[in-house]
Amino acid sequence: MAVPPPVLYPPFNIVRLSHVEYRVTNLAASRAFYVDTLGLQVTQEDAGTIYLRAMEERGHHSIILSQSDSANVARLGFKVFDDPDLDKAADWFSQQGLPIAWTTRPFMGRVLQTQDPWGVPLEFYAKMERLPSIAQKYALYRGVKPLRIDHFNLFSSDVDGAVAFYTQMGFRTTEYTSDAETGKTWAAWMHRKGGVHDIAFTNGTGPRLHHSAFWVPTPLNIIDLLDLMSTTGYRENIERGPGRHGISNAFFLYVRDPDGHRVEIYCSDYQTVDPDHEPIKWDLKDPQRQTLWGAPAPRSWFEEGSLFDSVPTQAPLLKAQPIVAP
């Protein structure tokens, strides 16, 4: 199935992805991983919550870690252009028959909370508290030197349906994987901010969060992180990589936090700001789509993901299998 054409004048204006809220079972262990190992900066913390940002981010946070009895994902956050866009978004989600709720969130002001048709919990805001720049505070750089949050990737039971829905919100497809036997889409990469993706959908039991990703300065920072993790008790948390994806051209590494939440460390993709930028099609059986070079993805990478809080999952409509490492 061909991906739908982009909607260049969507009903409301999403600027970019913004943040993810992870529920974690041991806040101290999560802090050690995200702060002391990956190198994210603490912007606020108390006994139950830690807010984090990366080195180039001026917004208050891009990750929220919340203490919980069970590990899952509370919600995914997106920034809209201005406050009237929040009202436009509320009207649009209501017209789709989806629930909306208004709330006030710390450091974010007025927030619209809703969900997509598969139950993925979403929230939108216009203004987050701005913090002083620390991009040139080089004494603070450590770990993998994360610069900014880059994207979310979700397991979806209906990738074609997800692409159609998010296209209506103005997300534009940059690359996609097609199953030649059925013509259906197996995975798709969609953006708002002019990179390869703000959000992606991968065929699988869903909805679940496959990973969130952070952009880093160079591939050498990824090598440094591997050295650090392998000598500080995190060797088994290294799941896949380093390598280079065919899709997106990204140099990548996938690691798991203490609760199993997957984080991709990522650099070297390309610009997609032109409104007539044509999506690139890949065949599911092409081994270089997932790994231009490097070891094939392990089975865990295709099967394991983080549940969304209280959201039931469904088996995928498309029964197709990509290449998996033996």
C-alpha–C-alpha distance, residues 118 and 208, integer Å: 10
Q: What is the pTM of this model?
A: 0.97
C-alpha–C-alpha distance, residues 113 and 325, integer Å: 39
Question: Which residue ranges form the domains of the chain, and what is each CATH number?
Answer: 14-131 (3.10.180.10), 143-307 (3.10.180.10)
pLDDT at position 2 over 90: no
C-alpha–C-alpha distance, residues 41 and 35, integer Å: 6
Structural contact between residues 295 and 254, judged by C-beta atoms closer than 8 angstroms: no
Q: Which two tokens stand for residue 238?
A: 């290294």
Q: Name 115's bridge partners.
A: 121
Amino acid found at 191: H
Structure confidence by residue, pLDDT tens digits, 268-284: 999 999 999 999 999 99
* Residue pointed to by tokens 């997957």: 262
- Per-residue pLDDT, averaged over 217-245, amounts to 97
Distances in Å between the Cα of 106 and the Cα atoms of 18, 51, 66 are: 14, 10, 13
Structure confidence by residue, pLDDT tens digits, 151-194: 999 999 999 999 999 999 999 999 999 999 999 999 999 999 99
Residue of 34, 97, 94 lying closest to 66 (CA atoms): 34
Please tell me the least confidently modeled range out of 75-79, 160-164, 241-245, 292-296: 292-296
C-alpha–C-alpha distance, residues 313 and 210, integer Å: 13
- How big is the CA angle at 221 (ends 218 and 226), to the nearest 5 degrees? 140
Please tell me the least confidently modeled range out of 38-47, 52-61, 208-217, 288-297: 288-297
- Per-residue pLDDT, averaged over 133-140, amounts to 98
